[in-house]
Amino acid sequence: MKNLLIAVTLALLIFGFYQAIYVAPEEATIFYYHVPSAWTAMLLFFANFLASIAYLIWRSPKSDAWALAFAEAGVVYCTIVLVTGPLWAKPVWGIWWTWDARLTTTLVMWLIYVAYLMLRRFSEGQQTATIAAALAVFGFLDVPIVYMSIRWWRTQHPQPVIGGGQGSGIAPEMKFALFANWAAFMAMAAMTCWFRYQIARAEQEQEHAAALESLKTVEVH
Amino acid sequence: MTLWAATRANLIKDLRLEWRSKDALNATGFFSLLVVVIFSFSFEPTAEEARRIAGGLIWVAFLFAAIIALNQTWARELRHHVLDGYRLSPAPASALFLGKALGNFIFVAAVEAITAPLFIIFYNLRAVGDASLLILVFLFGTWALVVNGTFFAALSIRTRNREVMLPLLLFPISVPAVLAMVQATTFILTGDDSPLLWIKLLIGYDVIFTTAGLLLFPTVLNAE
């Protein structure tokens, strides 16, 4: 499982890199990294929401471990989006940052999930999973409201490139490179989440064992 | 015990405790007075500029004041294991949440009622738009801060750094609500545009998060 994931991810990353750098038209190469990261981050946050709901219903520590893995990976990809965005915006728009709907929503999303990770870090014991899941639900409910509110406030981003209605869309070879990189980023996300999940499970088992151990000591004395 | 009776009992208990100690009101009221004074030193606007920025300043002051009030809200329930007692009682958990949120709403609204006139005096404000709509903005805006704040305060008392955690959770989630409050207030003061869209957004935000809070609070109360 582990080796297969690593092999697939590496192959896709190399293929995506080749498509983006050598095959696709030579403009805005950062596009092939910025957009796939954004989609991947979105999906990871959505997966975190689903895992949190699953935890609230079934109370399985596995769902909690998944929620943690998805949130951490989501914050990493969201950070990539927030770093590559201004790098791309500066030459194209002439400014680093603008308070437009998708930029601002991404920033607020990043803030929400960093707050989520902080809450996890600063709480202890069994309750962590429950209160984190509750916050995840609040955070995910907030994202569409943020998006709508910023859109009413001001917007400047280009219309969504894929599925943005009439006149949207990109050259086929660009689209292929884009989706190749998206596949690579999704594979990388799946890989990191899988590893993080294993670590989270190991930590849970360790805590469980420590709790049992302390009970034993009480019995002896 | 019905939801309403339990909510009322919780609310009356909180109001009575506050009436006797006046902890939250004193601290929050004095704090927002300080913020108003500091802002007056930091920004020295003309009448026209004051109208444009007052909406933002006033809500930042209220946001900080609300944090101070909200941080104390659950602390007194930890003493003598009141929350444990509540868990054992047959009263619905959502009533505790609703009672607390209503109580906090009354405290924060009272502080706002004292601070807002000070803002008007220090900044020589005069609304160009329909000033009666400000009441709606303040009611729905304050509820938006307080309902989420009460919920997140219940999360943050379970962490190691209680007081610090609340703003870290509340600020990101409150971004759309703060934007709506500030925009609505600014539009009413300047008369540039209609604030109705933003008031509607606030109402929607209030409905969504009040529902989420009521549904999830029992889970949080019983998380151990």
Which range, A166-175, A201-210, B124-133, has the best average confidence (pLDDT)? A201-210
Restricting to A residues 110-169, those with a Cβ less than 8 Å away from any Cβ of B are 111-112, 114-115, 118-119, 122-127, 130-131, 134-135, 137-139, 141-142, 145-146, 148-150, 152-153
Structure confidence at residue B24 (pLDDT): 82
* A161 has pLDDT over 80: no
Structure confidence at residue A71 (pLDDT): 97
Alpha-helical runs (H) found in B92-221: 93-123, 133-156, 162-190, 196-221
| Whether A135 and B169 lie within 8 Å, measured CB to CB | yes
Please give the mean pLDDT across all residues of chain B: 89
The distance of A56 to chain B (nearest Cα, Å) reads: 8
The distance of B169 to chain A (nearest Cα, Å) reads: 6
The distance of A132 to chain B (nearest Cα, Å) reads: 9
* A157 has pLDDT over 70: no
Question: pLDDT higher for B60 or A124?
Answer: B60
Rg (CA), chain A: 20
Structure confidence at residue B73 (pLDDT): 86
Question: pLDDT higher for A64 or A23?
Answer: A64
Residue ranges per structural domain of chain B: 3-221
Give the separation between CA A83 and CA B67, rounded to whole angstroms.
Answer: 31
Q: What's the pLDDT tens digit per position in B163-194?
A: 889 999 999 999 999 999 999 999 898 888 88
Testing the interface with A: which of B169, B206, B219 to mutate, by most A Cβ within 10 A?
B169
Please check whether residue A191 is in contact with residue A9, taking contact to mean a CB–CB distance below 8 angstroms. Answer: yes
CA dihedral B98, B104, B106, B108 (to 10 degrees): -150
Query: B159: which DSSP letter?
Result: B
How is residue A51 written in tokens? 């895992």
* A106 has pLDDT over 80: yes
Neighbours of A112 (CB within 10 A): 26
| Whether A111 and B180 lie within 8 Å, measured CB to CB | no
| Whether A152 and B197 lie within 8 Å, measured CB to CB | yes
Question: Which residues in chain A have their CB less than 8 angstroms from residue B173's CB?
Answer: 112, 115, 138-139, 142
Q: What's the pLDDT tens digit per position in B47-94?
A: 777 888 888 889 999 999 999 989 888 888 888 888 888 889 888 999
Question: Which residues in chain A have their CB less than 8 angstroms from residue B220's CB?
Answer: 130-131, 134
List of residues 6+ apart from B11 with CB closer than 8 A: B99, B102, B103
Rg (CA), chain B: 18
Which candidate, B148, B11, B139, B140, places its Cα nearest to that of B67? B148
Give the one of A124, A130, A145 whose C-beta lies nearest to B220's C-beta. Answer: A130
Restricting to A residues 170-199, those with a Cβ less than 8 Å away from any Cβ of B are none
Which amino acid is it at A166? Q
Q: Which residues are paired to B103 by β-bridges?
A: none
Restricting to A residues 36-75, those with a Cβ less than 8 Å away from any Cβ of B are 56
pLDDT category at A221 given cuts 50, 70, 90 is low
Restricting to B residues 199-218, those with a Cβ less than 8 Å away from any Cβ of A are 201, 204-205, 208-209, 212, 216
Kindly state whether A108 is in contact with chain B, defined as any CB-CB distance less than 8 angstroms: yes
Kindly state whether B173 is in contact with chain A, defined as any CB-CB distance less than 8 angstroms: yes
| Whether A145 and B172 lie within 8 Å, measured CB to CB | no
Q: What's the pLDDT tens digit per position in B8-23?
A: 999 999 999 889 988 8
3-state secondary structure chain A: CHHHHHHHHHHHHHHHHHHHHHHCCCCCCCHHHHHHHHHHHHHHHHHHHHHHHHHHHHCCHHHHHHHHHHHHHHHHHHHHHHHHHHHHHHHHHCCCCCCCHHHHHHHHHHHHHHHHHHHHHHECCCHHHHHHHHHHHHHHHHHHHHHHHHHHHCCCCCCCCCCCCCCCCCCHHHHHHHHHHHHHHHHHHHHHHHHHHHHHHHHHHHHHHHHHHHHHHHHHC
| Whether A112 and B173 lie within 8 Å, measured CB to CB | yes
Question: pLDDT higher for B24 or A61?
Answer: A61
Q: What's the pLDDT tens digit per position in B192-206?
A: 888 898 999 999 999
How is residue A34 written in tokens? 């910025």
Q: What integer is the mean pLDDT of A201-216?
A: 90
| Whether B224 and A124 lie within 8 Å, measured CB to CB | no
* A67 has pLDDT over 90: yes
Please give the mean pLDDT across all residues of chain A: 87
Give the one of B168, B212, B224 whose C-beta lies nearest to A127's C-beta. Answer: B224
Q: What is the largest CA-CA distance in chain B?
A: 58
| Whether B223 and A149 lie within 8 Å, measured CB to CB | no
Q: Which of A33-37, A52-56, A159-163, B141-145 has the lowest mean pLDDT?
A: A159-163
Structure confidence at residue A168 (pLDDT): 54
| Whether B201 and A130 lie within 8 Å, measured CB to CB | no
